[in-house]
Amino acid sequence: MHYATFTDRGHRMVGRVDPAAGTIQPLELGLEDADRGVLALARLAAAGVDPQPVGAPVALADIRLDAAAPHPLRNIFCVGKNYHEHAEEFARSGFDSSGGAVPDHPIVFSKVPECVVSSGAEIRFDPAVSAAIDYEGELAVIIGKGGRGIAPADALAHVWGYTIVNDVTARDIQSRHKQWLLGKSFDTFCPMGPIAVTADRIDLGDTRLRTWVNGELRQDANTRDMIFDVPAIIAAISAGITLVPGDIIATGTPVGVGIGFDPPKFLADGDIVRVEIDGIGVLENPVRHLPGSGQGA
Protein backbone atom coordinates (compact mmCIF):
# COMPACT_ATOMS: atom_id res chain seq x y z
CA MET A 1 0.00 0.00 0.00
CA HIS A 2 1.02 3.63 -0.65
CA TYR A 3 0.26 6.26 1.99
CA ALA A 4 0.78 9.99 2.37
CA THR A 5 0.19 12.81 4.82
CA PHE A 6 -1.59 15.81 3.37
CA THR A 7 -3.30 19.09 4.16
CA ASP A 8 -6.75 19.81 2.77
CA ARG A 9 -8.60 23.03 3.61
CA GLY A 10 -6.35 23.64 6.60
CA HIS A 11 -6.70 20.16 8.09
CA ARG A 12 -3.89 17.60 8.24
CA MET A 13 -4.93 14.11 7.24
CA VAL A 14 -3.44 10.74 6.31
CA GLY A 15 -4.64 8.72 3.39
CA ARG A 16 -4.12 5.71 1.14
CA VAL A 17 -2.75 6.71 -2.26
CA ASP A 18 -3.90 5.20 -5.54
CA PRO A 19 -0.99 6.13 -7.88
CA ALA A 20 -2.82 4.94 -11.00
CA ALA A 21 -5.95 6.98 -10.28
CA GLY A 22 -4.06 9.98 -8.91
CA THR A 23 -6.20 10.04 -5.77
CA ILE A 24 -5.84 9.71 -2.02
CA GLN A 25 -8.44 8.10 0.24
CA PRO A 26 -8.57 9.81 3.66
CA LEU A 27 -8.43 7.56 6.73
CA GLU A 28 -10.29 8.04 9.98
CA LEU A 29 -7.75 9.30 12.52
CA GLY A 30 -7.86 11.59 15.53
CA LEU A 31 -6.21 15.01 15.29
CA GLU A 32 -3.12 13.96 17.24
CA ASP A 33 -2.61 10.85 15.12
CA ALA A 34 -3.15 12.77 11.89
CA ASP A 35 -0.50 15.29 12.94
CA ARG A 36 2.03 12.45 13.21
CA GLY A 37 1.35 11.47 9.63
CA VAL A 38 2.12 7.94 8.49
CA LEU A 39 3.89 7.27 11.81
CA ALA A 40 0.42 6.98 13.32
CA LEU A 41 -0.29 4.10 10.94
CA ALA A 42 2.85 2.32 12.10
CA ARG A 43 1.87 2.76 15.75
CA LEU A 44 -1.72 1.66 15.16
CA ALA A 45 -0.63 -1.35 13.12
CA ALA A 46 1.56 -2.45 16.04
CA ALA A 47 -1.58 -2.30 18.20
CA GLY A 48 -3.59 -4.29 15.67
CA VAL A 49 -5.68 -1.30 14.56
CA ASP A 50 -6.44 -0.64 10.89
CA PRO A 51 -7.89 2.87 10.34
CA GLN A 52 -10.91 2.86 8.07
CA PRO A 53 -11.59 5.08 5.03
CA VAL A 54 -13.68 8.18 5.61
CA GLY A 55 -15.33 10.27 2.92
CA ALA A 56 -14.56 10.12 -0.79
CA PRO A 57 -11.15 9.90 -2.47
CA VAL A 58 -9.52 13.27 -3.18
CA ALA A 59 -7.53 14.15 -6.29
CA LEU A 60 -3.83 14.52 -5.49
CA ALA A 61 -3.79 17.60 -7.69
CA ASP A 62 -6.25 19.29 -5.33
CA ILE A 63 -4.32 18.90 -2.07
CA ARG A 64 -0.87 19.62 -0.65
CA LEU A 65 1.24 16.62 0.28
CA ASP A 66 3.21 17.07 3.50
CA ALA A 67 6.28 15.22 4.72
CA ALA A 68 5.41 11.57 5.32
CA ALA A 69 6.18 12.19 9.00
CA PRO A 70 5.86 15.94 9.67
CA HIS A 71 6.79 15.53 13.34
CA PRO A 72 9.03 12.49 13.99
CA LEU A 73 8.76 11.13 17.51
CA ARG A 74 12.47 11.61 18.17
CA ASN A 75 15.76 12.05 16.33
CA ILE A 76 16.03 10.27 13.00
CA PHE A 77 18.62 7.48 13.10
CA CYS A 78 20.99 7.70 10.14
CA VAL A 79 23.69 5.42 8.77
CA GLY A 80 26.87 6.83 7.28
CA LYS A 81 29.13 5.30 4.62
CA ASN A 82 26.78 2.41 3.88
CA TYR A 83 27.39 1.90 0.14
CA HIS A 84 30.76 0.54 -0.96
CA GLU A 85 31.57 3.13 -3.64
CA HIS A 86 30.31 6.02 -1.52
CA ALA A 87 32.49 4.92 1.41
CA GLU A 88 35.49 5.13 -0.91
CA GLU A 89 34.51 8.55 -2.36
CA PHE A 90 33.88 9.96 1.11
CA ALA A 91 37.23 8.69 2.40
CA ARG A 92 38.95 10.45 -0.53
CA SER A 93 37.03 13.70 -0.12
CA GLY A 94 38.94 15.17 2.81
CA PHE A 95 35.68 15.62 4.77
CA ASP A 96 35.68 12.20 6.44
CA SER A 97 36.49 12.29 10.16
CA SER A 98 35.30 8.72 10.82
CA GLY A 99 38.57 7.02 9.85
CA GLY A 100 39.16 4.36 7.20
CA ALA A 101 37.06 3.73 4.13
CA VAL A 102 34.66 0.78 4.43
CA PRO A 103 33.52 0.57 8.08
CA ASP A 104 33.58 -2.65 10.09
CA HIS A 105 30.36 -1.74 11.88
CA PRO A 106 27.46 0.60 11.01
CA ILE A 107 28.25 4.27 11.60
CA VAL A 108 25.11 5.66 13.22
CA PHE A 109 24.36 9.34 13.83
CA SER A 110 21.13 11.33 13.99
CA LYS A 111 19.25 14.33 12.64
CA VAL A 112 16.94 16.37 14.87
CA PRO A 113 13.24 15.93 14.04
CA GLU A 114 12.71 19.66 13.52
CA CYS A 115 14.74 19.60 10.28
CA VAL A 116 12.07 17.58 8.43
CA VAL A 117 10.30 19.33 5.51
CA SER A 118 7.98 18.19 2.75
CA SER A 119 8.59 17.56 -0.91
CA GLY A 120 8.43 20.92 -2.65
CA ALA A 121 9.63 22.84 0.40
CA GLU A 122 12.83 24.87 0.13
CA ILE A 123 16.16 23.53 1.37
CA ARG A 124 17.40 26.76 2.92
CA PHE A 125 20.88 27.73 4.07
CA ASP A 126 22.97 30.75 4.97
CA PRO A 127 26.24 30.92 2.95
CA ALA A 128 27.80 32.79 5.87
CA VAL A 129 27.33 29.68 8.01
CA SER A 130 28.16 26.96 5.45
CA ALA A 131 29.49 27.12 1.92
CA ALA A 132 29.43 23.35 1.30
CA ILE A 133 25.84 22.10 1.18
CA ASP A 134 25.47 18.57 -0.18
CA TYR A 135 22.61 16.20 -1.06
CA GLU A 136 22.22 12.53 -0.08
CA GLY A 137 19.31 10.53 -1.47
CA GLU A 138 18.38 7.68 0.87
CA LEU A 139 15.89 4.91 1.56
CA ALA A 140 14.37 5.36 5.03
CA VAL A 141 12.89 2.62 7.21
CA ILE A 142 9.80 3.20 9.35
CA ILE A 143 9.68 0.93 12.38
CA GLY A 144 6.30 -0.68 13.05
CA LYS A 145 7.04 -3.04 15.91
CA GLY A 146 9.35 -1.87 18.65
CA GLY A 147 11.92 -3.85 20.54
CA ARG A 148 15.40 -4.11 21.98
CA GLY A 149 18.06 -6.66 21.09
CA ILE A 150 16.38 -7.50 17.79
CA ALA A 151 18.18 -10.29 15.93
CA PRO A 152 18.90 -9.78 12.22
CA ALA A 153 16.74 -12.78 11.37
CA ASP A 154 13.76 -11.12 13.08
CA ALA A 155 14.41 -7.53 12.05
CA LEU A 156 12.20 -7.23 8.98
CA ALA A 157 9.19 -8.25 11.05
CA HIS A 158 9.72 -4.95 12.90
CA VAL A 159 9.48 -2.81 9.74
CA TRP A 160 6.17 -1.13 8.89
CA GLY A 161 7.37 0.47 5.68
CA TYR A 162 9.72 2.78 3.78
CA THR A 163 9.93 6.34 2.53
CA ILE A 164 12.47 8.67 0.88
CA VAL A 165 14.83 11.03 2.69
CA ASN A 166 17.32 13.58 1.40
CA ASP A 167 20.00 13.69 4.11
CA VAL A 168 21.15 17.23 3.31
CA THR A 169 24.56 17.95 4.83
CA ALA A 170 26.77 20.97 5.53
CA ARG A 171 30.11 19.30 4.73
CA ASP A 172 32.32 22.02 6.18
CA ILE A 173 30.40 21.94 9.48
CA GLN A 174 30.54 18.14 9.50
CA SER A 175 34.32 18.26 9.06
CA ARG A 176 34.98 21.17 11.41
CA HIS A 177 33.19 19.70 14.41
CA LYS A 178 34.45 16.11 13.90
CA GLN A 179 30.93 14.78 14.31
CA TRP A 180 27.81 14.82 12.18
CA LEU A 181 24.82 16.05 14.20
CA LEU A 182 25.27 19.78 13.57
CA GLY A 183 26.06 19.57 9.86
CA LYS A 184 23.15 17.19 9.30
CA SER A 185 20.50 19.00 11.34
CA PHE A 186 20.21 22.54 9.99
CA ASP A 187 16.63 23.69 9.55
CA THR A 188 15.10 22.16 6.37
CA PHE A 189 17.93 19.59 6.03
CA CYS A 190 15.66 16.53 5.99
CA PRO A 191 13.20 16.57 3.08
CA MET A 192 11.06 13.45 3.48
CA GLY A 193 8.38 11.58 1.57
CA PRO A 194 5.95 12.46 0.26
CA ILE A 195 4.93 8.81 -0.18
CA ALA A 196 5.47 6.01 2.30
CA VAL A 197 4.89 2.39 1.32
CA THR A 198 4.30 -0.70 3.37
CA ALA A 199 7.18 -3.15 3.71
CA ASP A 200 5.78 -5.63 1.19
CA ARG A 201 6.22 -3.05 -1.61
CA ILE A 202 10.03 -2.95 -1.47
CA ASP A 203 12.54 -5.64 -2.44
CA LEU A 204 15.57 -4.71 -0.35
CA GLY A 205 17.75 -6.89 -2.56
CA ASP A 206 16.84 -5.04 -5.74
CA THR A 207 15.53 -1.48 -5.44
CA ARG A 208 16.96 1.36 -7.51
CA LEU A 209 17.70 4.81 -6.06
CA ARG A 210 18.53 7.86 -8.21
CA THR A 211 19.26 11.52 -7.49
CA TRP A 212 19.29 14.39 -9.98
CA VAL A 213 20.45 17.98 -9.51
CA ASN A 214 19.02 20.34 -12.12
CA GLY A 215 18.25 17.35 -14.32
CA GLU A 216 21.78 15.94 -14.12
CA LEU A 217 21.84 12.36 -12.85
CA ARG A 218 24.27 12.28 -9.91
CA GLN A 219 23.39 9.10 -8.01
CA ASP A 220 22.24 5.81 -9.52
CA ALA A 221 22.52 2.75 -7.28
CA ASN A 222 20.70 -0.27 -5.93
CA THR A 223 19.94 -1.29 -2.35
CA ARG A 224 21.81 -4.55 -2.96
CA ASP A 225 25.00 -2.42 -2.88
CA MET A 226 24.60 -1.62 0.82
CA ILE A 227 27.46 -2.58 3.11
CA PHE A 228 25.08 -3.24 6.01
CA ASP A 229 21.59 -4.35 5.04
CA VAL A 230 18.43 -3.26 6.85
CA PRO A 231 18.36 -6.25 9.26
CA ALA A 232 21.98 -5.58 10.25
CA ILE A 233 21.23 -1.89 10.83
CA ILE A 234 18.18 -2.61 12.99
CA ALA A 235 20.13 -5.18 14.99
CA ALA A 236 23.00 -2.74 15.60
CA ILE A 237 20.78 0.13 16.75
CA SER A 238 18.46 -2.00 18.87
CA ALA A 239 21.31 -3.79 20.65
CA GLY A 240 21.29 -1.07 23.30
CA ILE A 241 18.44 1.27 22.29
CA THR A 242 14.81 0.25 22.42
CA LEU A 243 13.22 1.02 19.08
CA VAL A 244 9.60 2.17 19.16
CA PRO A 245 6.85 2.17 16.52
CA GLY A 246 7.35 5.22 14.34
CA ASP A 247 11.13 5.41 14.63
CA ILE A 248 12.78 6.36 11.33
CA ILE A 249 16.13 5.03 10.10
CA ALA A 250 17.81 6.54 7.03
CA THR A 251 19.93 3.75 5.57
CA GLY A 252 22.76 5.70 3.91
CA THR A 253 23.48 7.25 0.54
CA PRO A 254 25.22 5.80 -2.54
CA VAL A 255 28.11 7.15 -4.60
CA GLY A 256 27.62 10.43 -6.46
CA VAL A 257 27.27 13.05 -3.74
CA GLY A 258 28.67 16.53 -4.33
CA ILE A 259 31.96 15.95 -2.53
CA GLY A 260 32.69 13.02 -4.83
CA PHE A 261 33.37 15.34 -7.77
CA ASP A 262 36.58 17.25 -8.51
CA PRO A 263 35.93 20.06 -7.88
CA PRO A 264 33.00 19.33 -5.53
CA LYS A 265 29.51 20.08 -6.83
CA PHE A 266 27.86 21.67 -3.82
CA LEU A 267 24.27 22.90 -3.90
CA ALA A 268 23.64 26.51 -4.88
CA ASP A 269 20.75 28.94 -4.78
CA GLY A 270 18.15 27.95 -7.37
CA ASP A 271 19.16 24.30 -7.68
CA ILE A 272 16.49 21.58 -7.81
CA VAL A 273 17.23 18.23 -6.13
CA ARG A 274 15.14 15.23 -7.16
CA VAL A 275 15.39 11.83 -5.46
CA GLU A 276 13.51 8.85 -6.86
CA ILE A 277 13.25 5.36 -5.39
CA ASP A 278 11.52 2.65 -7.41
CA GLY A 279 8.35 1.43 -5.78
CA ILE A 280 7.98 4.57 -3.65
CA GLY A 281 8.03 7.72 -5.75
CA VAL A 282 9.78 11.08 -6.06
CA LEU A 283 11.03 13.64 -3.53
CA GLU A 284 11.90 17.01 -5.08
CA ASN A 285 13.05 20.25 -3.44
CA PRO A 286 14.40 23.63 -4.54
CA VAL A 287 17.47 25.15 -2.88
CA ARG A 288 17.38 28.72 -1.59
CA HIS A 289 19.74 31.04 0.28
CA LEU A 290 18.24 32.42 3.45
CA PRO A 291 16.70 35.89 3.06
CA GLY A 292 19.03 38.59 4.32
CA SER A 293 22.15 36.56 3.59
CA GLY A 294 23.12 39.01 0.86
CA GLN A 295 23.25 36.18 -1.66
CA GLY A 296 19.69 36.18 -2.92
CA ALA A 297 16.41 35.06 -1.41
pLDDT tens digits for range 102-141: 889 999 999 999 999 999 999 999 999 999 999 999 999 9
**Is residue 178's pLDDT more than 50?**
yes
**Is residue 196's pLDDT more than 50?**
yes
**Is residue 50's pLDDT more than 50?**
yes
Please enumerate in sequence order all residues whose Cβ is within 8 A of that of 208, keeping only pairs 6 or more positions apart, or say none. Answer: 220, 221, 222, 277, 278
Cα torsion for 207, 223, 209, 213, to the nearest 10°? -170
SS3 231: helix
Mark residue 121 as left, alpha or beta (left: phi above 0; alpha: psi -120 to 50; beta: remaining). beta
**Confidence band of 33 (pLDDT split at 50, 70, 90):** very high
Which DSSP state fits 227?
S
Q: Select the more confidently predicted residue: 179 or 144.
A: 144
**Confidence band of 207 (pLDDT split at 50, 70, 90):** very high
pLDDT of residue 295: 44
pLDDT tens digits for range 233-252: 999 999 999 999 999 999 99
Q: Which residues pair with 78 in a beta bridge?
A: 109, 250
Which percentage of the chain shows pLDDT scores above 90? Answer: 87
**Is residue 232's pLDDT more than 70?**
yes
- For range 67-89, the mean pLDDT: 90
Cis bond leading into 70, ω under 30°? no
Return d(Cα 44, Cα 154) in angstroms, integer. Answer: 20
Return d(Cα 274, Cα 283) in angstroms, integer. Answer: 6
Q: What angle do CA 272, 168, 291 make, to 5 degrees?
A: 65
Which percentage of the chain shows pLDDT scores above 70? Answer: 94
pLDDT of residue 294: 46
Return d(Cα 95, Cα 101) in angstroms, integer. Answer: 12
**Is residue 98's pLDDT more than 70?**
no
